[in-house]
Structure formats: C-alpha cells, structure tokens
A and B are shown apart, each in its own frame.
Chain A
Amino acid sequence: MSGFKSLSWAMYLGFRRDGRAMFFSLLFPLMFLVLFGTLFGHATTAKVKVIEIGSVPVLDQAVRQGGADLAKVLTITRYADRSAALAKVGKGDQDGAVEQLGDTVTVHYSAADRVKAGTVQSIVGSIVESANVATSGRPPTFTLAAPVQVEDSSLKAIQFITPGMLGWALSSAAMFGAAQTLVSWRTKGILRRLRLSPVPIRNVFAARVTVSLGVALVQTAVFLFVAQLPMFGLKLSGSWWMSIPVVLAGVMAFLSIGMVIGAWAKTQDSAQTVIQMVIFPMVFLGGSFFPLDNAPQWLQTVSYLVPLRYLNEGMLNVMGRGLGPASALPQIGVLLAITLVASLVGIRLFRWDDS
C-alpha cells in the first residue's frame, strides 16, 4: 500500500510530539482513574464494634475457639460499667453491647445503623447457637459446608471505574484525532497536496484509522496496568481479552463521529468546541463516572442514545463483571453500526478544500 506506512509514521510522530493531545487522551483520564481508584477502590464494610459488659462466658469461649475468623468481623471492647457501655452504643460509637446474666445473653443495639445492628444480632445469635450445640454434646443435624463466594454483582468501584475512565480516554482521543486531522489537513492544504500525489485516498484514511487503533491499544494497556496495581486492585476476569475487539469497534465508531465533526467544522477551534460539548455530557450519560445500574430510569433511557454507553458497557461486561465473551457482542454490533452510519454521513460532508 503506497504511502500507507509513511503517512502512518508521520501521523504517529505528530501525535507523539503533541503534548496537549497526549495530556488529554492519556494523562487526564488516567489522573481520574488514580483519583477515583484511591478514593473508592477499597470501599469495604468496616468491622462491627461490640462492647462486652462485664464477663460474657459464651462470647469468650467463641473467641477462644474461632478467634481469627471472628476477629475479621468483630472488634470486642470490655467495659465493666454497664451504663457507660450503653451510653456508647446510644451515641453510635459502638455498634452493640452484649451482657450475660446466668444463661441469658442480651444484645443491646442502636437503630442508628440498621445494617450493623442486624450484623451484631446475627453474629451473637450464631455464637449462642453453636454454644448450645456444644453443650448438648450431640452432633448438629445440619452442617454448613465450606462457604463458596459468588461473583459479586454489586461491583467493587475499581471494576467499573477502569472501563469508564478508559472509555472516556478512548472516545476523546479518537474524536479529537479524527476531527483535528481532517480540519487541519484541509485548512492547511495537506489534503489537496495528498490528492495531487499518486497515493490512493483510501490509504490516507487507512493510515489515520490504524494510528488511532494503535494509540487506543496503548491507552488500554496503560489503563489496565495501572488499575491492576495492588493499590487499586482491579481484578480482570477470564474473558477480559474480549475487551480488545470492543475497544477497536468503539474507536472506529468515535473516529467516524470525529470525522463527521471534522468535515462539518470550518476551523480547528469550532471542531474542538463541538467535541468538548459532545464529550462532557456523553461521559456522564454514558456511565463513565457512575454505574448506570443505580441511575434513575430516565437517565438509563437517555443513555441508550449515547454511543459511549456501548463502549463502556461492553468493556465492563467482560473486564469488570466477569461475564462470558459473548456478553460484549451486542455492544460491538451497536458500535459497528454507529461506525457505518457516521462514516456515510462523514463521506457525504467531506470536502477536499475550503473554497
């Protein structure tokens, strides 16, 4: 393909030396990934804090027997003074207080945090239960097999932050890349110059698409690397590789949208303004900053009109949610359809020069 290699190289150098493009397409979203990853990446439930009033032999025995497991969920503080202990619970400093009078164990809790109150009751309940079983000396009728963890449908924050921020980075790099190239090459006369060379025009487009896909793969690699660092803790699920075709289809879709904007815009400035106006609502409505599952219904409905939704969702399914490879196929289909439609519009609007 004549001219393809050298034009790709020229575009690659132009991109690599463009500090602003590098910043907005890579560093800026990466900064948000680091920020959100640090803030929410390890959001797990805090331990339940319980006061032992005086001596509670049942509790002490449970701690002796299953110390390590219990210590994961329970922090026990001893108080001799009953009224001081209840005051602590009342103020919400402690989640519950346990006392034992003879064979009766009583749990005091505050309704301020119902989840923790429930946790305290059920933990103490099961401790009492197992104490009864031990006392009776008979083997329990029912036994609990070793617990099996089910893949969590309510995601750890980093699992959706990563595809969301990556989707933002990919879509803005692709749209800026296509629109800027088209406008600047047209206004500067480079398109005209290329038209006067024997290189087939499709090679010029092929070069632009190839460079953008390459940049996108680098962005993806950098994001996944950073998000998997221990401090952020992204866990890629089995079919994460399926996110590569999602990324490629998404980049093609946004390149075509960028081409429409670039063909329509008269100047670099107007192209940039339009892209900024497209990106910001799109990033919010497309689920880059918060998961759409918890969003109000109207927003979920609107999000189906936002191309970024399909890129984010496709990546999230295979990379964050741990769904199978086929789960990204509908999104890839929609992205390719967007590519087709936007390309046709872009070709119709395309102009060689400004006159």
Chain B
Amino acid sequence: MSQTIVVDGLTKSYGDLRAVDGVSFAVEEGEFFGILGPNGAGKTTILEIIEGLREADGGEVSVLGLPPWPRNPALLPRIGVQLQSSSFFERLTTREQLRTFGSLYGVPATKADAMMEVVGLADKADVQVERLSGGQAQRLSIACALVHEPELVFLDEPSAALDPQARRNLWDVLRGINTEGRTIVLTTHYMDEAEILCDRVAIMDGGKILQMGPPATLVRDLDAPVRISIASGTLTEAQARELPGAAEVSDDGISLVIQTRDPSTVVSAMARMEALDGVQIHGATLEDLFLTLTGRAYRA
C-alpha cells in the first residue's frame, strides 16, 4: 500500500501565532483518517496546506506523490474538497450545481446526474439550493466534492448541524465512498463520528499532534475506569462498595454508578447477586481521551 499523503515537519505561523508547529504524519491509500482538535488547534491550516490553498513556512508535503504548492492543475482533478454547505452557485438547482461543478473537471452531465442518487438527492434535482434543508445541502456539498471521482477526499465537519437521522444517513454515504477505495481525510468536532468512521485519528492542539492511532487503541491506552450503572435500590451503596474490584460508588437516586478498572470481576459478582436490573456499562470514549488531552477550558 502506498502513502497518499506524507507530511513531514510542517510549520506555519501567522505573525506570532504558530498555527502549525512541526507536524508529521502519513495517510495510507484507502484509509479513513480523522483530524480532531478544539477550535484554533491548527486543523484547518494543515488541511489548507495539503489542499494547496496555502504555502507552508517549512517542512515537506506530498499529496499523491506531488507537491500541492504552487497550485498544481495536474493534482487538482485527483482530489475533492468539501467546503461549507453554502459554497454553491446562487439560484441553481441541485442538478445544475452538480453539472456545473462536474463540467469544471470535464465530467459529462449524465455522470453528474448519477451523483444525485449516491447522496439520495434524486428527488430534489429541480430544487434550487436555497430551498434545500441543512442535511440535503450538506449531502449536496459532498456530492459536489465527489462528482469528478477523486482518489482523495477532504471533508470538513460533514455532519455539523444535522439531525440524528441525517447523520446516520450521511455516515452510510461516507462509508460507501471509502469502501470504493477512496482515501478520506475528515476534520470533526464530533468524537462519536470519528470513532465510528475513522481507521485512524490524530488529536491536535496548539499546532501539534498530541496522539495518533486507531480510535479503539487510543481509548484503550487511556486506561480510564469503566462505569457500570444499575437502577437505584437494586443494591445499596454499602453493598456496592463491598463488591470486589469496585473503586468508586455513587447513587443519585435514579442510578447507582460503580467505577472500576476490573469490570469482569464486578459484573460477575453482581450477576451472582442477581443485581443486574437495567445494567449499562460505559467504557471510555474518544471524547474522554480528547478532553484528557486538550483540557476542559473554553476555546475561542
């Protein structure tokens, strides 16, 4: 497998601010790669440099084996970039948008029309973009990024402001694209999205990559306690504290929560006491890891 993106020692400053501070990573062909980080972490700047919209101050970038800067018309047809869902031509319909974007790459109209099926907008073909719902506009913006069948796709917050149905729907679309063999780079604030979709994620803050790896591995390595909750009254707090392996116990009158680093022992003890009514077991999530790494302070 070859490497689609190679970034080595990348730096970029705006005045005194080091937006990107010595970042190195590689994305494999066909990989679904996530870049996570709070606002101002440097995600957007890194993407803009890789896409060829900005020049790096230092370091090496290679995309599909080519340097993206200066603007490289040989490379551009091989990458697709999804921008905010407002980046449409005014007053054109769904079909006209896709045909226009397609024609910039020499894509025939019939193929552009077929893209509407992929993102489930065939019934909105003759609707002007101004009248699409948030989810529909989001899907159209992804379709516009994919219309020329790029090998490498960049997605920026693709599920922002979508309702749960639309998000699930969108995730299916994205998985489908990835299964076709395209490499996808995703930036997002939503940890569940990254956890579900990405093969690997890089967590960034202050222009640096703090951790990188498959979400499950990163979370496991966090070694955070597991939370087991049952309905209040099933066990008293005292009984719960006696359980082997229980580290911390709390009861808010609705649920009794036991924190432990040895969940198998605790759960089997509870099973023997027949105290598993309404049990829920929560492991650590990417969100826990993210907050552990980047802190809880408000960001700009």
Segment with Cβ contacts to B, from A23-31, A148-156, A192-200, A279-287: A192-200
The reply to whether A196 and B53 contact each other, CB–CB distance below 8 Å, is yes
Query: Whole-angstrom distance from the CB of B84 to the nearest CB of chain A?
Result: 6
Query: Whole-angstrom distance from the CB of A268 to the nearest CB of chain B?
Result: 11
The reply to whether B87 and A196 contact each other, CB–CB distance below 8 Å, is no
Name the A residues within 8 Å of B104 (CB-CB). 2-3, 6-7, 194, 197-199
**Known contacts A6-B99, A6-B100, A10-B92: does B87 contact A198 (CB below 8 Å)?**
no
The reply to whether B96 and A195 contact each other, CB–CB distance below 8 Å, is no
Q: Which single member of A7, A9, A14 contacts B90 (CB below 8 Å)? A: A14
Cβ of B41 within 8 Å of any chain A Cβ, yes or no, is no
Cβ of B122 within 8 Å of any chain A Cβ, yes or no, is no
Which A residue's beta carbon lies closest to that of B78?
A198
Which B residue's beta carbon lies closest to that of A17?
B91
Interface positions, chain A 109-125, Cβ under 8 Å from B, are none
Q: Which single member of A2, A18, A193, A199 contacts B83 (CB below 8 Å)? A: A193
Name the B residues within 8 Å of A184 (CB-CB). 90
The reply to whether A352 and B91 contact each other, CB–CB distance below 8 Å, is no
The reply to whether B88 and A190 contact each other, CB–CB distance below 8 Å, is yes
Name the A residues within 8 Å of B81 (CB-CB). 193, 196
**Known contacts A2-B106, A195-B71: does B53 contact A13 (CB below 8 Å)?**
no
The docked-state distance in angstroms from the alpha carbon of A200 to that of B92 is 22
Name the A residues within 8 Å of B103 (CB-CB). 3, 5-6
> Contact flags (1/0) for A1-45 with B, using CB distance below 8 Å?
011011101110110011000000000000000000000000000
Cβ of B86 within 8 Å of any chain A Cβ, yes or no, is yes
The reply to whether B53 and A192 contact each other, CB–CB distance below 8 Å, is yes
Query: Whole-angstrom distance from the CB of A10 to the nearest CB of chain B?
Result: 5
Name the B residues within 8 Å of A13 (CB-CB). 91-92, 96
Name the B residues within 8 Å of A190 (CB-CB). 87-89
Cβ of B51 within 8 Å of any chain A Cβ, yes or no, is yes
Which A residue's beta carbon lies closest to that of B93?
A13
Interface positions, chain A 193-237, Cβ under 8 Å from B, are 193-200
Query: Whole-angstrom distance from the CB of B19 to the nearest CB of chain A?
Result: 11
Interface residues on B, range: 20 to 34
The reply to whether A198 and B105 contact each other, CB–CB distance below 8 Å, is yes
Name the A residues within 8 Å of B128 (CB-CB). 17
The docked-state distance in angstroms from the alpha carbon of A2 to that of B73 is 12
Query: Whole-angstrom distance from the CB of A5 to the nearest CB of chain B?
Result: 7
Name the B residues within 8 Å of A196 (CB-CB). 51-53, 76, 79, 81
Query: Whole-angstrom distance from the CB of A12 to the nearest CB of chain B?
Result: 11
The docked-state distance in angstroms from the alpha carbon of A17 to that of B128 is 10
Name the A residues within 8 Å of B105 (CB-CB). 197-198
Name the A residues within 8 Å of B100 (CB-CB). 6-7, 9-10
The docked-state distance in angstroms from the alpha carbon of A13 to that of B129 is 13
Query: Whole-angstrom distance from the CB of A180 to the nearest CB of chain B?
Result: 9
The docked-state distance in angstroms from the alpha carbon of A3 to that of B96 is 14
Name the B residues within 8 Å of A195 (CB-CB). 53, 71
Cβ of B77 within 8 Å of any chain A Cβ, yes or no, is yes
The docked-state distance in angstroms from the alpha carbon of A188 to that of B87 is 5
Q: Which single member of B52, B87, B90, B96 contacts A193 (CB below 8 Å)? A: B87
Name the A residues within 8 Å of B91 (CB-CB). 13-14, 17-18
The reply to whether A192 and B99 contact each other, CB–CB distance below 8 Å, is no
**Known contacts A13-B96, A189-B84, A192-B83: does B77 contact A18 (CB below 8 Å)?**
no
Which A residue's beta carbon lies closest to that of B44?
A355
The docked-state distance in angstroms from the alpha carbon of A24 to that of B128 is 22
The docked-state distance in angstroms from the alpha carbon of A352 to that of B83 is 14
The docked-state distance in angstroms from the alpha carbon of A17 to that of B87 is 18
Which B residue's beta carbon lies closest to that of A184?
B90
Query: Whole-angstrom distance from the CB of B109 to the nearest CB of chain A?
Result: 10
The docked-state distance in angstroms from the alpha carbon of A115 to that of B87 is 67
Interface positions, chain A 126-142, Cβ under 8 Å from B, are none
Interface positions, chain B 64-84, Cβ under 8 Å from A, are 71, 73, 76-77, 79, 81, 83-84
The reply to whether B88 and A188 contact each other, CB–CB distance below 8 Å, is yes
Which A residue's beta carbon lies closest to that of B51?
A196
Interface positions, chain A 336-355, Cβ under 8 Å from B, are 352-353
Query: Whole-angstrom distance from the CB of A282 to the nearest CB of chain B?
Result: 26
The docked-state distance in angstroms from the alpha carbon of A319 to that of B96 is 40
> Contact flags (1/0) for B240-276 with A, using CB distance below 8 Å?
0000000000000000000000000000000000000
Name the A residues within 8 Å of B83 (CB-CB). 189, 192-193
Most B CB within 10 A of own CB, among A11, A193, A194, A353:
A193
Name the B residues within 8 Å of A17 (CB-CB). 91, 128
Name the A residues within 8 Å of B86 (CB-CB). 188-189
Name the A residues within 8 Å of B144 (CB-CB). 193
Name the A residues within 8 Å of B84 (CB-CB). 188-189
**Known contacts A6-B99, A10-B92: does B73 contact A192 (CB below 8 Å)?**
no
Interface positions, chain B 101-118, Cβ under 8 Å from A, are 101, 103-106
Name the B residues within 8 Å of A198 (CB-CB). 73, 76-77, 104-105
The docked-state distance in angstroms from the alpha carbon of A13 to that of B71 is 29
The 8 lowest CB-CB distance pairs between A and B, nearest first, are A6-B103, A189-B87, A17-B91, A197-B104, A189-B83, A198-B73, A198-B76, A10-B100
- A sample of 14 cross-chain residue pairs with beta-carbon separation below 8 angstroms, ordered by A number, consists of A2-B104, A3-B104, A6-B99, A9-B100, A14-B89, A184-B90, A189-B83, A190-B88, A193-B83, A193-B87, A193-B101, A194-B104, A196-B52, A197-B104
